[in-house]
């Protein structure tokens, strides 16, 4: 798969009322995450799907909503990620077993799993970019991390919709939006980001740290951010790289 232009559509509440749908659908490839729906939200998030990156924790919701998410995504590719124990092929791998079930229901489905070797590469990339070991810092890489990294391999240009800059939530007057555009009564986005970033007990996503990495990548790669629209500031001499908060 190779795309000259990609629309990477987040699940952020910043997309509500954005009217970005037509612009998103103009991209050669449209990339979505987990079970984020398009039906009923097309005006803001578009209707096309070329690639959907799905976490192991979302696979049951994908199965429940398969008529909408799978049947409506004609020709789309689905990539599933999760711990290696979920990918086992000996009957004990939850993701693998569910993918076999999905293949029986929808034999035309183009579904793939991220291999253990590739997962280790993602871990190494996180450590290289942040200086922190993912496991030691009790960090789970987010679906956004996998999606952005996969997009870098596939796309010449990436337009990201709905991703805020890393310091957005520090502003006391920041806009409050739901974490998911399709769950308007769900948790607040910045509350979710900050709680995960500061969490030390148990495993957490480091959403803000990941956004610092994405901001840094955008200085080198053809990545652009919309809704909200922002552009990374040039690094100063005292900022040689990403400052990790994990």
Q: What is the pLDDT of residue 186?
A: 94
241 is a domain residue = no
b/e code 171-197 from CB counts within 10 Å (16+ = b): eeeeeebbbbbbeeeeeebbebbeebb
Q: What is the pLDDT of residue 220?
A: 93
Q: What is the pLDDT of residue 56?
A: 83
Q: What is the pLDDT of residue 83?
A: 81
CATH of the domain at 169: 3.90.1480.20
Domain range enclosing 127: 3-226
Residues near 83 by Cβ (< 8 Å), separated by ≥ 6?
A: 56
Q: What is the pLDDT of residue 102?
A: 79
Residues in the chain: 246
Pull the structure tokens for residue 175. Answer: 């806009």
pLDDT by 10-residue block (mean), the chain, 246 residues = 96 96 97 93 95 86 72 77 82 83 80 86 93 88 94 97 96 94 95 90 87 96 96 72 48
Query: DSSP alpha helices (H): ranges in 26-111?
Result: 42-45, 59-64, 66-69, 94-105
246 is a domain residue = no
Question: 């689905």: which residue's tokens?
Answer: 78
Task: Write the DSSP symbol of residue 142.
Answer: -
242 is a domain residue = no
Q: What is the model's pTM? A: 0.89
Closest among 163, 184, 157, 207 to 10, alpha carbons compared: 163
Q: What is the pLDDT of residue 244?
A: 44
Q: What is the pLDDT of residue 73?
A: 61
Please answer whether residues 21 and 46 qualify as being in contact, where contact means their C-beta atoms are separated by less than 8 angstroms: yes
19 is a domain residue = yes
Q: What is the pLDDT of residue 60?
A: 78
Count the domains in the chain: 1
12 is a domain residue = yes
231 is a domain residue = no
240 is a domain residue = no
Q: CB atoms < 10 A from the CB of 72, how many?
A: 16
- How many whole angstroms separate alpha carbon 2 and alpha carbon 157? 11
245 is a domain residue = no
């Amino acid at each position: 798969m190779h795309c000259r232009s990609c629309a990477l559509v987040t699940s952020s509440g910043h997309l509500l009322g954005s009217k970005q749908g037509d612009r998103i659908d103009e991209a050669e490839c449209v990339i979505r995450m987990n079970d984020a729906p398009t039906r009923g939200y097309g005006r803001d998030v578009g209707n096309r799907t070329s690639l959907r990156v799905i976490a192991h924790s979302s696979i049951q919701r994908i199965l429940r909503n398969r008529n909408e998410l799978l049947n409506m995504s004609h020709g789309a590719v689905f990539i599933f990620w999760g711990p290696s124990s979920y990918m086992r092929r000996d009957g004990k791998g939850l993701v693998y077993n569910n993918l076999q079930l999905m293949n029986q229901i929808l034999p035309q489905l183009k579904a793939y799993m991220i291999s253990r070797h590739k997962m280790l590469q993602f871990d190494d990339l996180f450590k290289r970019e942040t200086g922190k070991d993912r496991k030691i810092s009790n960090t789970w890489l987010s679906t956004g991390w996998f999606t952005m990294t996969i997009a870098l391999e596939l796309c010449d240009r990436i337009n990201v919709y709905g991703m805020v800059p890393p310091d957005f939530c520090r502003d006391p007057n920041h806009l409050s939006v739901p974490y998911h555009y399709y769950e308007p009564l769900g948790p607040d986005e910045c509350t979710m980001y900050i709680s995960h970033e500061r969490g030390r007990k148990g495993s957490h996503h480091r959403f803000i740290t990941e956004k610092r990495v994405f901001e840094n990548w955008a200085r080198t790669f053809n990545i652009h951010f919309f809704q909200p629209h922002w552009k990374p500031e040039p690094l100063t001499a005292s900022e040689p790289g990403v400052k990790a908060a994990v």
